[in-house]
Amino acid sequence: MMTQSVLEAIGSNGRLTKRAFQSSAMLVAVFCLVIGPALVGADDRPSLAAARDRSCSKTAKSALNACGDKAEAAYSIALGKCNNLPSDEREACRQQAEEEQRDAEDECAEQYDARREVCAALGEAAYHPIIDPANFVEGISNPFFPLTPGTTFIYRGGGEVVTVTVTDRTKMILGVKCIVVRDVVEVNGEVIEDTEDFFAQDVEGNVWYLGEIVKDFENGDLVSLAGSFKAGVNGAKAGIIMKASPQVGNMYRQEFLLGEAEDLAQVLSLSGSETVPAAACNNGCLITKEFTPLEPGAVENKYYARGIGFILQINIETGERLELVEIIRR
């Protein structure tokens, strides 16, 4: 459901116009941005100074404006195309354009609400983690996210086969040597996604996510690089993929590039139990809820086994499971 502030930004014609966005005085805190490693525990409270900063609210308004501008532009282009159709087809075309516009408005509102929830949890401060190469170590040994070069993890579920390979390659990002992990997704033997992820561990044991190159394919053709980011480039920031000492309630950013990469995680349990073909954890699984404001409602619970890492993903809406079925060590 749209919030009152979003509804007030919608013009009487039902479209989120740029003028309406700019004139709305009711746009409030949305996009939670937090200083440092973006880690919030169950007992943490945003500081008064952070609340006064309002970087979160300002970023939220920018994201909402951008979403509205994009929807408005798409609507205008669609109408232009309708004007060049035979006269008897134009009205149906215009109705379709209006329906798509309403769908776009709804998506803007849903993202707005999702960002507000994140903001309420993490606070108003600007998200600007300091990446000092001197604070990072060689290799990744976090017990819930160990990455040993030459190891391959194979997952199956939901009609997909996912092959994750910890390569011998490294990549320098912001002066930090990152391990390169390749993640390939196949459906019916056809590659639909081929991603390279870049991870590094700090001296405390936190595993940082400093970037990814996402390549999406259709019928063998590259169709998108959406979701790609590299810390330090175009406003992208690193996030934490796994904490050194996770505690129930902790919420943290795994990545940040506004409008492209906004994944977050929250620790649900340290004593989960699950069994998959290649692993099991009895009362010792770390369970996280992983989500993004870019896809409100798309929530996954992930299970991590000590000494192995990620073993299971459950789609909360559909119940589909992606299970670790094989580990290959060189």
CATH number at residue 310: 2.40.360
pLDDT on residue 19: 36
**Do 110 and 172 form a contact (C-beta atoms < 8 A)?**
no
Range of 21's domain?
4-122
Question: Do 103 and 143 lie in a common domain?
Answer: no
Question: Do 201 and 156 lie in a common domain?
Answer: yes
pLDDT on residue 14: 43
Question: Do 170 and 280 lie in a common domain?
Answer: yes
Burial-class residue 319 by CB neighbours within 10 Å (0-12, 13-18, 19+): exposed
Question: Do 80 and 191 lie in a common domain?
Answer: no
Question: Do 115 and 142 lie in a common domain?
Answer: no
Give domain status of residue 147, yes or no: yes
pLDDT in tens, the chain (330 residues): 444 444 444 443 444 444 333 333 333 333 333 334 445 544 445 555 555 678 877 888 889 999 999 999 999 999 999 999 999 999 999 999 999 999 999 999 899 889 888 888 888 888 999 999 999 999 999 999 999 999 999 999 999 999 999 999 999 999 999 999 999 999 999 999 999 999 999 999 999 999 999 999 999 999 999 999 999 999 999 999 999 999 999 999 999 999 999 999 999 999 999 999 999 999 999 999 999 999 998 999 999 999 999 999 999 999 999 999 999 998
The amino acid at 185: V
Which of 69, 96, 122 terminates a domain? The answer is 122
Question: Do 269 and 313 lie in a common domain?
Answer: yes
Give domain status of residue 128, yes or no: no
Which of 102, 122, 142 terminates a domain? The answer is 122
Give domain status of residue 267, yes or no: yes
pLDDT on residue 173: 98
Give domain status of residue 222, yes or no: yes
Provide φ and ψ at 301, rounded to 5°: -95, 130
Give domain status of residue 127, yes or no: no
Question: Do 57 and 178 lie in a common domain?
Answer: no
Question: Do 73 and 23 lie in a common domain?
Answer: yes
Give domain status of residue 184, yes or no: yes
Q: In sequence order, what E strands does the chain have?
A: 39-40, 136-137, 151-157, 160-173, 176-187, 190-202, 207-218, 221-224, 229-230, 237-242, 251-253, 255-256, 264-276, 279-291, 300-305, 309-315, 321-329
Enter the tokens of residue 224: 């998108």
Give domain status of residue 129, yes or no: no
Question: Do 70 and 147 lie in a common domain?
Answer: no
Euclidean distance between CA atoms 57 and 47, whole angstroms: 15
pLDDT on residue 49: 59
Q: Quote the number of domains for the chain.
A: 2
pLDDT on residue 2: 46
Euclidean distance between CA atoms 55 and 167, whole angstroms: 38
pLDDT on residue 125: 85
Question: Do 96 and 232 lie in a common domain?
Answer: no
Which of 73, 98, 122 terminates a domain? The answer is 122
285's CB contacts (< 8 A; 6+ apart) are: 269, 271, 272, 273, 274, 303, 304, 305, 311
Question: Do 27 and 84 lie in a common domain?
Answer: yes
Question: Do 168 and 305 lie in a common domain?
Answer: yes
- Which of 180, 177, 176, 178 is CA-nearest to residue 165? 180
